[in-house]
Amino acid sequence: MSGAPQAAAPPNDPPAGELEYVGFWLRVLAFLIDSAWVLPIILLLGLLYESAPSPLVDQLLKDPASVSAEALAAELAPSPADFVVTYIVPAVLIVFFWLRRSATPGKMVIHARIVDAKTGVTPSTRQLVVRYLGYFVSTIPLLLGLMWVGWDRRKQGWHDKLAGTVVVRPKLRPSATVVFSREASR
């Protein structure tokens, strides 16, 4: 996608013929594992930036009818810190792992990694950022873009298609062989 040269796959990686696409349920498992380490970080950061409990909470507990809708809405309105903790921190953590390891801890547990869909090499930073932003596109229509992994021949969700990536792992059993464009032309 970018004009910058891309790094080749590490020398100890199996050739494309020994890889398989990672399907829907394994990717759900990886997501659950990732949630188990990201969520506590987000909760801890949320607690750290949160100041003392609001007097509105005490008022709600003592006399809920005395709390105006405007006061409640103002209390529940997200702050800039909420945005940072909820959206920016997870994005930085996930993209950092993708850049360093081509996988999050959840994908590492299942021996999966993200690669460029055409060449099989490590995706560019641009591709990985597009892939992360593509998660929002994939989730908005009732998670259809994520479920697409279950139907797609190459097991690509919409976020993978937008970024030009696939998720692969060493082949454990006979399955569809991974083929990259440069190998197909040989």
Q: Kindly report, residue by residue over 44-75, the tens digit of the pLDDT.
A: 998 887 766 677 778 888 888 888 888 888 87
Residues 6+ apart with CB under 8 A from 80: none
pTM of the model: 0.78
d(CA 71, CA 56): 8
**In the structure encoding, which two tokens stand for residue 43, read together?**
């909760």
What does residue 45 show for φ and ψ, rounded to 5 degrees?
-65, -40
Mean per-residue pLDDT for 83-94?
A: 94
6 is a domain residue: no
The pLDDT value recorded for residue 105 is 98
The pLDDT value recorded for residue 48 is 84
151 is a domain residue: yes
Q: How many CB atoms lie within 10 A of CB 45?
A: 15
The pLDDT value recorded for residue 11 is 47
123 is a domain residue: yes
Domain count within the chain: 1
Segments forming the whole domain that contains residue 126: 16-184
10 is a domain residue: no
91 is a domain residue: yes
Strand partners, 113: 168
Q: How many CB atoms lie within 10 A of CB 40?
A: 10
Kindly report the CA angle at 169 between 168 and 173, in degrees rounded to 5? 115
95 is a domain residue: yes
The pLDDT value recorded for residue 1 is 46
10-52 pLDDT per residue, tens: 545 677 678 999 999 999 999 999 999 999 999 999 888 776 6
7 is a domain residue: no
141 is a domain residue: yes
131-186 pLDDT per residue, tens: 999 999 999 999 999 999 999 999 999 999 999 999 999 988 766 678 888 755 55
Q: What share of the chain is helix, strand, coil (3-state, %, to 5)?
A: 60, 5, 35
What does residue 166 show for φ and ψ, rounded to 5 degrees?
-135, 160
Question: Is there a contact between 135 and 144 (Cβ–Cβ < 8 Å)?
Answer: no
d(CA 186, CA 182): 7
The pLDDT value recorded for residue 69 is 87
d(CA 8, CA 5): 9
